[in-house]
Structure 1
C-alpha cells in the first residue's frame, strides 16, 4: 500500500507539533519533518520535543540549499543531526545521493534496524530519459538505500510516463514523483505504479515542493486509498485545467457506482502527443476542453455522427482495440440550459422547441461555439456568429 506522507514545514517546533496532530486527524500515514524549515533550529533541544508523542511515524529530512532546501551549514553538523534523529527512534531518514556515500561512512554501520534510509535525487529542471532514470536508480541502490527516491520536474505531461516506466521495473521500494502542475498525475497515481509513498500537504500554504496536492484532495476527491494496478485512468485534457470542477464531479460519480477508475485534471500542451504517449488500455477515456476540442477531431480514429457534423469533440473513448472514438455532448447540455433559461422545455421536435424561430447570437467560433450553433440550428433557431477573426467564422 502506498503511504500518504504529510510534509511539515512550520517555522517553529510548536507549529510543527500542531500540524503533526492535524495530519493524523486528516488521515495521513506519516509525517516528514523538514528540519531545514525551523528557524533557529537547535538539534539536541528541538528534536526530542518534535518527536515526543508525535502521533504518526516520522521521516526526518534536513535538506541543504544545494538540493532545494533551506539548510546552508556544513554536512558534518547535518549528519550529526540525522544520526541523533535515528537514535531517538525515527522511522525514516532522507539523505541526498550527492553525499549519501559520505553519510553511510559517517554512520559506520550504526544505523538502527528500525530506521529506513531514503536516498534521494531531485531534478528541478526536467525529467531525464528512461535510460538515465534507470541508471540513477541503480546508483542510488548501490550506495545502500533502503528506499529509492527520485523527484524530477515535468515540462510536459508526457514526462510523467518515463517515471512510471522506471517505477514499475524497480526492484527495491521506490518513491517516484514528478514536480509541477504537469506532474500531478505522478502523485495521484503513485499506488497504481507501485510507489512507496506520495506526499499530501495540509493546505496550499504548507507546500514543500511544486505541484503537491492536499491530503484532503488525495483522500476525498481522488479516493487514493482505492487506487491500484487495475484502476482505469480518466481525465480532463485542457490548458488551463486547474480551475475545473470536473474532477470533483466525476470522481464522486465513479465512487457512487463503484467503478474502479480515477478522473484527473490533465494539463497538456499537445493533444496528439498526450494520446500517443498514454496509449495503454488503462488510460481509457478523456474529456476534452479548451483549446483541444477541434484538434481532437484529427486525433480520433472514429467519430459519432454529431461530433462529425459539429467538427469538435469533447469526449474521447479508447476502445479495446486501441482505437479512439470521439463524441460531442456539449450541444445537448448547452441547448437544454438555454431552453430552460428562456422558460420552456426542450423537445426532439424542433417546431416544439422554445428556440424555434428565435435569433441566437453565438459569440466565438471555437469548439463550444460550434456545438451551440449546431444545436440551435437543429432546434430551428436562426444563428448569427460573432467572432474576432473572419477565417474562424468561415470554418464554423
Structure 2
C-alpha cells in the first residue's frame, strides 16, 4: 500500500523467534566515520544536502566552499555551522590541488581561519599551504577544531618509502589528522596505502582515487582509517571513485567491518557491472559472517595474488578475462578445473596456498536441462544426450560449458572469433570448430542448443548480438551467460522466434551458492540464493536502495516484515509488506 506522507515512514519488523538480531544489535560498530562531500552553488542548497546526508547515514559533512558561486565567509560559514545537522569539515580547495577556487591565497586561508574560530569541527588545509596558514594563526589554534593536513596526487601512487616520507612531513606540520589521496594506475597500488594506514601512529585518512582504488575506500575500518567519503548520489563525487553512502552501508556492511574481517571479491575486467557484491554481502550479513565482498578491477592476476597474499584475502570469484590465466596462480586444482583448464573460484587456505576450482558449468547446464525436461517430462537421462550443443566462446566459461555438455552426452560445436582457439577447444572435447562469422549460416539440423559464453550483449553494449535473428529458428533453446541485462538482445530475439530461453542469472546463482559454501564453510542452498537474488532485485526496482536505510532479510526468516524508510523528499514513500 502507498501512504500519503513524504518524509518519514516507521519501521516495524515482526521476526520469527530464533532469527538473528538486526545487524546493529548483533555486531560491534567500528569507529571509522563516513563523510559526505557537500558541493552546491548556494548555502541553502548545501543545507538541504546536509539534511539528506544525515538521513543517509553520514557521520559528518565536508563543506566544499570552493563550489559556492558567491561566498561571504563570515556570514555563510556561521550559517552553515549553526544549521548543519552534522559535524562539519570545511574545505576550500584551490585549483592547484584539484579544487575550484582560483582566487588569492590570503583570502582562502582566512576563510578557513574563520571556520575554525566560528566552531567548525574540522578544517582541511593542503600541505603546500600549511606553513602559511600556521603563520597567519599566530598560535591561536582552536582547541575544538581538528586540522586535517592533506596532499593529493592525481597522477599515480608513489612508492611505500615516498608515502612514508609524505606522512612524516604532514605529521611534522602540526596536523591533528594526516590525509593523503593518490591515484590508482593498478589495483596493486592500494596495497601500499594499506601498508601505510595500518602502521600509522596518528589518525590518518588514506584514499586511492579511481575505480581500481575502490577497496581503499571500503576497507578503511579494517586497516584503521579515520574516515571514508561517501556521496549522496552516484556520479556526484568530490574525487574519482567515491562510492555512495547507501552502497557503503547497505551493500558493503561498512559499520561492521574491522581488523578481523575476511576479504572476498570478484576479479575481472570489466567488473563494475557485477551483482555479486549485492548477493554475497547480503548472504554474509544474514548469518553474521564477518566478511566483505567487493568488485576487484584487476589487470594482472598473478601480480594481484602475489601482492595481496597476506592481507586476509580469503577467496575470489574470477570472471572475464582471467579464468585461464589464473590457473597458473593456483597451488592445487579440483579435477574439473584441471580438465577444463579454467578456474572461476579461488580459495586461500590456512597454509596460504591457493585452491582453484570451476563451478561455471554446473548452474548453466542444470538450468538448460531443467528447461528441456519441462518440454519433455517423460524422458530419462539427460535431455542433452545426442543434442548438437553450440558454444559461443572459447574462453574459461566456454571451456566449462563445452566440458559440461560433453559430460551429458551432447555433440559439441565451438564458435569463436578466433578460429584457432575454437579448434583447440573442439579438439579437447571431441567436437567441431567454427569461426563466429560462420555461425549464422550453420544449421545442419533443427532443435540445436545455443550457449553464449562471451560478453557480447553485456551492458553497456546491449544492442550487440553474436548471431542473426533469422538463424535462431534452428535452435530449440538459447542460453546466454550475460546477466546484465537479464534479457539480452540474443535472448529477446530467441524468444520472439519461439525458442526457449535460459538467462545468465541461473548460471550466476549456481556459481554463487557453490562458491559461498567454499568461501565460508557454511551450508546453503540454490533455492535460498534464488530467493535472495529475487528479493534484492525487487528491492532495487522499488527504489529501496535509494532510501537512507535498507534492512533486508532472507525471505524465509520473516513471518511478516514491514520495511520503513526515510526517502528523498521527491520520492513517493511506501511500505512494502511481505508475508
2:205 maps to 1:175: yes
Secondary structure class of the residue paired with 1:128 = coil
Partner SS, residue 223 of structure 2: coil
| 2: CA distance, partners of 1:12 / 1:338 | 57
Matches within 5 A, 1:1-396: 1-280=31-310, 282-344=312-374, 352-396=381-425
Structure 1 contact 281–320 (Cα < 8 Å) conserved: no
Q: Secondary structure at the match of 1:233?
A: strand
Match of 2:473 in 1: none
Larger RCO, structure (CA 8 Å, separation 6 or more)? 2
8 Å contact 1:281–1:318 — kept in the other structure?
no
Q: TM-score, normalised by structure 2?
A: 0.67
- Measure the CA separation in 2 of the matches of 1:39 and 1:338: 59
Q: Deviations over 1:108-127 (max 9, x none)?
A: 11111110000000000000
Instruction: Give the Cα separation in 2 of the matches to 1:184 and 1:85.
Output: 31
CA positional deviation for 1:281: 5.8
Conserved in 2, the CA contact under 8 Å of 1:161 and 1:278? yes
Within 2, Cα distance between the matches of 1:387 and 1:292? 17
Equivalent position SS for 1:374: helix
* CA-CA distance at 1:97 after TM superposition: 0.2
Secondary structure, aligned partner of 1:371:
helix
Q: CA deviation at 1:272?
A: 0.4
TM-score, normalization by structure 1: 0.97
Q: Distance in 1 between matches of 2:55 and 2:118?
A: 24
Cα deviation for residue 345 of structure 1 reads 10
Query: 8 Å contact 2:47–2:83 — kept in the other structure?
Result: no
Larger radius of gyration: 2
Equivalent residues of 1:346, 1:353 under 8 A apart: no
Q: Which moved more, 1:207-216 or 1:80-89?
A: 80-89
> Is residue 238–residue 268 contact of structure 1 (8 Å, CA) maintained in 2?
yes
Q: Deviations over 1:37-74 (max 9, x none)?
A: 01122212322222222110000000000000000011
Q: CA RMSD in A?
A: 1.5
Distance 2:336 2:171 in 1: 54
Task: Output the CA distance in 2 between the equivalents of 1:95 and 1:355.
Answer: 67
Deviates more, 1:102-111 or 1:149-158: 102-111
* Contact in 2 for aligned 1:97/1:140 (Cα 8 Å): yes
Segments of 5+ residues of structure 1 without an aligned counterpart are none
Q: Using the alignment, how far apart are the partners of 1:122 and 1:135 within structure 2? A: 14
State the 4+ residue runs in structure 1 displaced beyond 3 angstroms. 343-347
Residues 120 and 150, structure 1, Cα contact 8 Å, conserved in 2: yes
Contact 2:319–2:344 under 8 Å retained in 1: yes
Determine if contact 1:310/1:370 at 8 Å carries over to the other structure.
yes
Number of equivalent positions: 394
Q: Say if 1:57 and 1:356 are closer, same or farther in 2 by CA, change over 3 A.
A: same
Counterparts of 1:266 and 1:395 in 2: how far apart (Å)?
A: 30
